[in-house]
Amino acid sequence: MTDEKNGYIDEIGVEAYAKINLSLDIVGRLDNGYHLLEMLLQSIDLKDELVFRRIPQEAVVLKAENTDLPTDGRNIIVRAVELFCNETGLPREYEIFLRKNIPAEAGMAGGSVNAAATLKALNTMNKAPLGEEALARLALQLGADVPFCLRGGTMWAEGIGENLTPLPPLSLKLLIVKPDKGVSTKEAYRNTDLSSLKNRPDSEALLAAVREGRRSDLPKYMGNVLYPYANKCVPQIGEIIRDMEEKFDCSKAMMTGSGSTVFGIFENGSRREEARAYFAKRYKQVFLAETVDKSLDWKK
């Protein structure tokens, strides 16, 4: 944070952390078409970096580095600024710099955590005109993952993803592999048959294992019902899962969200490094990662 004047802040930097799903189950559907979910969500230390700067003109200027994402109103960051300013009546006078590291179309909430970072940053820059409940309400208008991305850590999510219950933090060492092709979230949900869901997690047993600190029991209860459709679209998902588990002995490999990213949980650091080297020869986006207990952090 820099240039504080009268309690207002002219510039602020935010680190916005990705999320993975340690479980994803569909338990129903609402009349409006939204799916009712049960998910174990976890923040990880793969992050985007954003800088928000107040400018002396009415404009929202987004500059994005190392990404071909749109920088106009199609971008969720710009929409979050508009939503915040509409809610508070404050002027739209911001220049935003985005350095993108979280893969797109990956099931890792890259856009959602950018939206959460925007709401939190603008609120902080303007002496917090909105409380936590108001921020959460705006977050939900931007997307079902955004309320989690305001808080982060280890959370049990229900409803469409907005009903959140904090859980004891997990300490996991991960390998992240993103195939070149992504998966449409909308299509993944639309093409998943609710009458015959496969790859379902055991939610009750998974929750108990987290609460009781039985980390070694997590793999046998995890699951993602969107995997069968996503793997039809991107067969590399299943290939990565198989190779992680069979070639490198990770305790569990699974797709996160609607895909196409796969993460593996590793107990052995040298095997994780061997797996990283193997997959880095085959895919452009391969990352070592660890779990964290938050989704946003102020940049030093």
Instruction: From the candidates 19, 47, 178, 252, give the one annotated as an active-site residue.
Output: 19
CA–CA distance, 37 with 214 (Å, rounded to integer): 24
Nearest by Cα to 95 from 118, 67, 126: 118
Instruction: From the candidates 145, 178, 243, 252, give the one annotated as an active-site residue.
Output: 145
CA 240 to chain centre: 20
How far apart, in Å, do the first and last CA atoms of the chain sit? 8
Strands (DSSP E) found in the chain: 2-5, 8-29, 35-54, 59-65, 93-99, 154-158, 163-166, 173-178, 223-224, 252-255, 262-266, 285-290, 296-298
Is 31 annotated in the active site? Answer: no
Is 145 annotated in the active site? Answer: yes
What are φ and ψ of residue 248, in 5° steps?
-125, 10
What residues pair up with 144 in beta bridges, in sequence order? none
CB 295 within 8 A of CB 150: yes
Which residues are tagged catalytic?
19, 145
